[in-house]
Homo-oligomer: A and B are copies of this chain.
Amino acid sequence: MAFHDHLRLAWRQSNSMLCVGLDPDPARLPPAVHGSLFEFCRTIVDATADLVCAFKPQVAYFAAAGAEADLERLCHHIRDHHPGVLLVLDAKRGDLGSTAEHYAREAFDRYAAHAVTVNPYLGGDSVAPFLQHPHGGAFVLCRTSNPGSGDFQSLVADGRPLYQHVASRVADEWQAIGDCGLVVGATYPAELATVRALAGDLPLLVPGIGAQGGDIAATVANGRDSSGYGMVVNSSRAILYASSDADFAEAARIEAQRTRDALRAR
C-alpha cells in the first residue's frame, strides 16, 4: 500500500495524530533494559502502539552506538506486531541520485520503512530514488524546528522564503513522482499555516512539541488538513523519558495518552 493510503488508514484506525519518536540515548536508558536500545524502544512501542498513528526511529542514535542490528529488529517488530502504524525512518538523507538509490534500499528494504525523511538541498534528482522505490515515500525537510533553521530556510527569493519554495516544489512537482510529505516544526505555528496553504492535503510531519516546547493548540489549528487529520505530530523525549525508573513504560503511555488527547481537542 502506498504511503499516503497507509497513513490515512492509520489516522482513522488510531484516531490519533501522535507519532512517538524513538531516539534512544544510551545515557538515559532505564536500568531495566540492561543497555539494550532494542529492548527500550520495543517496550515503548508496545506500551503506546494503540495511541499513535506512527513511530519514528531516529537513525543517529543507533548509528552512534553501532547498533544497526537493534534498529533492524525494532523496525521489523513494528511492522510485524503493529501493522496498522506508519513507520517513518528519520534519516534525513540527501545525496546524488545513484547514491540515493542505495539509501532508498536501506530505508525501504533493510528497515522496511513506509517513509523516510529527506533533505531537499540537492534538488529533485536526489529525492526521486526514494519516491520511485516500489514501497517508497518521503517527508521532505521544509521548515525545521531548530534555532538555526532561519539561516537559509528564511532567505527570500522571488518574494518568498526558501522553505516556501520547497513546499511548492514538493506539492506541485515531486508528489507527481511518488507520495511526499513535508517536515514543518511546531515551533513556528504561523509558518505551519502558510505551508498547509501551499501544500494542499499533503501530510505534514511536525516535530517540536513536548520537550521542544511547541504550542499544541496552535499546531492543530494551523496544520490539519480538510479531513481533520493531516499531521504526524512527533514527540520523543517527553514520552521516552517520562520516567527513568522501572515504571518507564507506564509513564510513557500516560504521557502519550495526554499528548494524543491534546492533539484531538480541536
Chain A interface residues (CB < 8 Å from chain B): 23, 58, 60-61, 63-64, 66, 68, 72, 92-97, 99-100, 102-103, 105-106, 109-110, 119-126, 141, 144-153, 155-158, 162, 165-166, 169
Contact = CB atoms under 8 A, between A and B. Distances in A.
A97 to B, nearest CB: 6
Contact of A60 (B103, B152, B155): B103
Interface of A is mostly: helix
A158 to B, nearest CB: 7
Nearest to A63: B106
Contacts of A156: 157-158
B68 A120 contact: no
7 contacts: A63-B102, A64-B103, A96-B145, A121-B152, A123-B146, A125-B147, A155-B165
A124 B102 contact: no
B122 A66 contact: no
Contacts of A60: 95, 99-100, 102-103, 106
B125 A152 contact: no
A105 to B, nearest CB: 4
Contacts of A122: 141, 144, 146, 148-149
Contacts of A105: 64
Contact of A121 (B58, B61, B119): B119
A64 B102 contact: yes
